[in-house]
Amino acid sequence: MTAPSQRRYTFEEYKDTADWLMTNTQHRPKVAIICGSGLGGLADLLEDKTAFAYTDIPRFPTSTVQGHSGELVFGRLQGCECVCMKGRFHFYEGYDIQTVTYPVRVFFLLGVETLIVTNAAGGLNGTYNVGDIMLIKDHINMPGFAGQNPLCGPNDERFGVRFPCMSDAYDRDLRALAKKTAEEQGCNGFLQEGVYCMLAGPTYETIAECRVLQTLGADAVGMSTVPEVVVARHCGLRVLGLSLITNKVVADYNSKEKANHGEVLLTTQHRTQDLQRLVSHLVSKLR
């Protein structure tokens, strides 16, 4: 794998991947859904599916994490043309930020207008319970503070402007629609709204780090999502973000609790049907 500072994709490379996909499927998605750890079941809800292994798609990375199966699935969800990523890419797998975000620009070239991102996250907010679903209203981009922003380097105006706004990264109307849908589906009792903070991983947070993030105003913490959102907004896509709170962070030195990936996957099994129901009914309103 090339060093992070060396890898740049050209417009033509993104377009070549998009063209390959359009040649191999008749679906023309308007909504893209990125499924987080253990949440790939969202793709199983699609009808008239066409699935591609990541390894078969030109220039697509491969997912190496348990709970990320590594398929791109096209189909219809509640009558809406969609494409789902069953598994995403992360810094901690050794990928540079351009590779982590590669699919989002491909989605843009496919004609996608709305991106729904889901993730498994640790709850920093003391009022959150394991199994809550958090609507992301804003994010804190910790890798970005260190210069790891997917928009660094030459800007291609065919994707977006040099200095895109991020104060409206998570679409207000989509969040309102999600709240209304959650109420209709009986999910509002465990629906939260808050700020997501991204760290690079793969280690879970220290107690001191959790306390710092709480002081900064973060409600949940994870290892993904933000770079994809930044690229999506650069391309002009509307974004809705959903975090499934799979564990409470350890912020007490006297606690004997320890975060672990098995716990994350177990929680997604318990709440995944609720999240799937929420997303599928929300998508039906986007037609």
Residue 62's pLDDT is: 81
Helix (H) or strand (E) holding 19: helix 11-24
Distance CA 143, CA 126 (A): 24
Is 263 among the catalytic positions?
no
Higher pLDDT, 241 or 250: 241
pTM of the model: 0.91
User: 159 with 108: CB under 8 angstroms?
Assistant: yes
CB neighbourhood size of 212 (10 A): 13
The answer to whether 121 is a known catalytic residue is no
Q: Which of 71, 81, 93, 228 is catalytic?
A: 93
Q: Which one of 18, 54, 90, 139 is the catalytic residue?
A: 90
Averaged pLDDT, 140-168: 95
Please confirm, yes or no, whether 224 is among the known catalytic residues. yes
Q: What is the mean pLDDT of the chain?
A: 89
Render the burial of 223-262: b for 16+ CB within 10 Å, e for the rest: bbbbbbbbbbbbbebbbbbbbbbbbbbbbeeeeeeebebe
- What number of other Cβ atoms are within 10 A of residue 41's Cβ? 16
* Contact call for residues 132 and 191 (beta carbons, < 8 A): yes
Supply the pLDDT for residue 243. 95
Q: Are 240 and 130 in contact (CB under 8 A)?
A: no
120 a catalytic residue: yes
223 flagged as catalytic: yes
Residue 23 scores a pLDDT above 50: yes
Q: Given the residues 68, 139, 234, 281, select the one marked as catalytic.
A: 68
Average pLDDT over residues 164-192: 94
What is the mean pLDDT of the segment spanning 220-239?
A: 97
Q: Of 18, 85, 120, 178, which is the active-site residue?
A: 120
Mean pLDDT lowest for which of 144-153, 158-167, 271-280? 271-280
92 is catalytic: yes
Residue 70: name the closest of 103, 46, 47 by CA: 103
What residue spans define the domains of the chain? 11-284
Indicate which residue of 223, 228, 234, 280 is catalytic. Answer: 223
Please pick, among 119, 243, 247, 280, the residue that the annotation labels catalytic. Answer: 247
Strand partners, 220: 123, 196
- At 219, which amino acid appears? D
Ranking 71-80, 193-202, 270-279 by mean pLDDT, the lowest is: 270-279
Active-site position among 22, 92, 149, 209: 92
3-state secondary structure of 56: helix
CA distance 233 to 144: 15
Decide if 12 is catalytic: no
Q: Which whole-number Å values give the CA distances from 109 to 7, 48, 55, 85, in the listed order?
A: 20, 22, 20, 16
Per CATH, the homologous superfamily of domain 11-284 is Nucleoside phosphorylase domain (3.40.50.1580)
pLDDT tens readout for residues 86-115 = 988 888 888 899 999 999 999 999 999 999
**How many CA atoms lie within 13 Å of 56's alpha carbon, on the beta-carbon side?**
10
* Ramachandran angles phi, psi of 14, nearest 5°: -60, -45
The average pLDDT across 82-89 equals 92
Look up 247 and say whether it is catalytic. Answer: yes
